[in-house]
Structures are given as C-alpha cells and as structure tokens.
Amino acid sequence: MYPVQLRALVAGVVLALVAYSPAIAQSIVVGGKGFTEQLLMAEMTSQLLRAKGFEVTSRVGFATTGIRREQEIGLVDIYWEYTGTSLAMFNMVAERLESHHAYARVKELDAKKGLIWLSPSKVNNTYALAMRQADAAARGIASISDLAAKVRRGERFRLASNLEFYLRSDGLTPLQQTYGFDFGPGNVVRMETGAIYGALRDSADLDVALVFSTDGRVAAFGFHLLRDDRGFFPGYILAPVVRRRMLERHPEIATHLSALSAKLDNAAIARLNAKVDLQKMTVEEAASMFLKESGLL
C-alpha cells in the first residue's frame, strides 16, 4: 500500500473513532456556584451526563456574575440558575412576576443571548429573612413589616448577610426601601453564605439573617422565616440553562436534564442540602444517592 493511501486509511479510522466515541464527541463543561445547593446540582448533572456517555468537566465555586460571564463567553456550557436572579441581575427586570410568567420572560430574554432555559424544576429557592424561633415569638415578629416597624421605633437588630445580597440590585438596599426601614450603620455583618446559619443559631450578637429558603438548616436549627408580606422577593425557580450551540450539537441533553428537573422540588433539595450540611455526606455521595433513588442512574 502506498504511503499516501496508508495515511488516508489511518485518518479515516481516527475520524470514525471520533464519530463514535462519546468521550471525545460529547465533551461538555458543567458549572456551579459556590454554595451547597449549586454544588449538588453541578454534581448531579455531571454524574447523570457521564452515565449517558458524555465526557464532563466540572467547574464550581463561582459567584453569580462570574458563572454567567463564563457561560456567555463559552467557557461553561451548563449550569442551574434561578429565574429571579437572571431577571434582576442579567436582564434588569424589576417587575414582580408570577413564577410561570417569570420563567417565560427569562426564557425569552436569555434566548436572545444564546442561552436556553430547559424545563424548570419545582424548586423555588427564594431569599428570606430568618430569626431564631424563640426570639421572633418573644418580640412579636412574624413578618418583615413587623421587623421594619420595630426598627423604625428605635429597636436595634443586627443582620447577617452574604456579600452578594448586600450588593445586588434585588438585595438589601431595595428590600429596606420597600419596607421603609434601615438596619443602620454597623448593624449588617457580612460573612460567607455557609457560615450564616451557625452564626444565627449560636451568636447572641445576631438577631436576623439572610437565608436561602431551601437550606436544610432552616428547619433543623428551628429558624422562623419572616413572611414577605409586601412581596419583595421574586420567585427563584431553579432550572438548567444551556448554551444554544451545545444544545444544537447534543439535543438529547434537554431530555436528560428535564428528567432530573422533574424529580426536584423544595422538599427534595432541602433534604439533599441537609445531607451535606448537617449529616456531612459528601456532595458526590448525596448526588449519587438521589440519582439512584430517583431511577435516573
């Protein structure tokens, strides 16, 4: 066989292997933010897609703006986002919308940027303000309006908040404006999200905390979630968001992730969060457990 023919044959074999090798042909990057729920979603997505024949690289630990930027420039293919976050932070929509309207709006707006929202889960991980149950009862506080009224009358409350909520456009400042109060200089303590729950439980110097409503520690630590009686917090429905170019190459991804979405609600994700944050199961173990229990693996 002539050298030219031999080289052509070898090239053909290589191309055939590439065409039929999922590990080569279906490589994707799954991202996640830096808190437990997001680490779980990234891990469940990665494990599920690997089981379906994809080669997956996982990149986690991002802040919200960071992971969105990575996805927009093509360095992250898939991550799970919350409707309220994308509307307020990435699309500058201040209007308060019902959950299904919010999903439809953000799906439309982000599609123009090449980002496709797949089937939403039933997880609504909204922000909330929490107090220790005994303190809330003793001070007669059931809602954010109750808290605001007491602050306006001169009572002092110290708030634990993460940096993102402290700074973001749908965060602390507009919350205080909506309810007509101000915690005041020196009364907002900024800390890492994961540290907030233990700090509120254990520190008499903190009275209120910014929490995620689906965090398993809310119920486990006996916190009272203050009713958002003016409807400040929008819905934060959790759904997978995929770059259009990746989805066009591998449309089956939508089927796999929609199956995962269908298994998720607030109770399920709170249980998973608690497995990691309270029972000290690893993220990998908790993700695998859920996928197997749900019949996805």
Output the pLDDT for position 198: 96
* pLDDT cut 90: percent of the chain above it: 81
Question: What does 79-147 look like in DSSP terms, one character per residue?
Answer: EEEEHHHIIIIIS---S---HHHHHHHHHHHHHTTTEEE----B-B--EEEEEEHHHHHHTT--BHHHH
CATH code, domain with 112: 3.40.190.10
Output the pLDDT for position 96: 77
**HEC string for 204-272:** CCCCEEEEECCCHHHHHCCEEECECCCCCCCCCEEEEEEEHHHHHHCCHHHHHHHHHHCCCEHHHHHHH
Q: Which helix (H) or strand (E) holds 161?
A: strand 159-161
**Encoded tokens for 7:** 């080289």
- In this structure, the answer to whether residues 153 and 278 fall within a common structural domain is no
* Cα distance between residue 297 and residue 239, in whole Å: 20
Residue whose C-alpha is closest to residue 172's, from 160, 157, 154, 155: 160
In a domain, 76, yes or no: yes
pLDDT digits (tens, 9 = 90+) for 182-234: 999 899 999 999 899 999 999 889 999 999 999 999 999 999 999 999 999 88
Angle at 215 between CA 126 and CA 29, to 5 degrees: 80
Segments forming the whole domain that contains residue 134: 127-225
In a domain, 79, yes or no: yes
- In this structure, the answer to whether residues 7 and 119 fall within a common structural domain is yes
In a domain, 102, yes or no: yes
Contact criterion met (CB below 8 Å) for 183 and 133: no
- In this structure, the answer to whether residues 102 and 246 fall within a common structural domain is yes
What amino acid is encoded at 168 in this protein? R
Does residue 99 have a pLDDT over 80? Answer: no
- In this structure, the answer to whether residues 120 and 131 fall within a common structural domain is no
In a domain, 230, yes or no: no
pTM above 0.95, yes or no: no
